[in-house]
Amino acid sequence: MSFGSDLDERIALLRGIWLFSTCDDDELARIAAVAEPREAEVGAALTTQGDPGTEFFVIVTGDASAAVDGAEVGTIGPGGFFGEMALIDGGERVATVTATAPMQLLVLDRNDFNEMLELAMPQIAPKLLAVVGARMRAIDEHTGVDATLGL
């Protein structure tokens, strides 16, 4: 059986991700039902800075590097996620994320991401916002521009 093909397996994978750790079984089952399993090889560009953002990624296994203007601003490993900023504000991708190890991911498109937020907002929103804030500060430090003001 291929990675993530079983709904129960996807539920178990989501349960192990800190973003979803306070979700109940029903919430996890509904999120898992729309999460698409995907694999990526080393060197695969998962998002490209400046492109429209249409997907949210949760890393099950593997690692990725996030770069802004060609310079690495951070790494993301198992249990991490990315792609949320472009979905939240409807803007372009703020970073290029590239696989640095073979990866297994669970992917939500824009509609499913929005449904996930509506479904589990109290459990997920505070964690999501904390990560978004930290990422915006990292980008600000790299560029010297206050990204929170859109400058």
Domains and CATH numbers, the chain: 7-144 (2.60.120.10)
Strand partners, 134: none
Residue pair 120/66 in contact by the 8 Å Cβ criterion: no
Eight-state DSSP code of residue 5? -
Rounded to two decimals, the pTM is 0.83
Residue 1 pLDDT class (50, 70, 90 cuts): low
| Residue 124: C-alpha distances to residues 3, 6, 19, 29 (Å) | 25, 24, 6, 15
Distance CA 73, CA 84 (A): 16
Pairing of strands 55-61, 81-82: antiparallel
* Mean residue pLDDT across the chain: 87
Residues 119-128: tens digit of each pLDDT = 877 878 778 8
Task: Look at residues 54, 94, 96, 56 and name the one whose alpha carbon lies nearest to residue 75.
Answer: 96
Residue pair 43/99 in contact by the 8 Å Cβ criterion: yes
pLDDT of residue 100: 98
pLDDT of residue 146: 56
Is residue 85 scored above 50 in pLDDT?
yes
pLDDT of residue 82: 92
Average pLDDT over residues 33-39: 94
pLDDT of residue 150: 43
Residues 62-82: tens digit of each pLDDT = 999 999 999 998 899 998 989
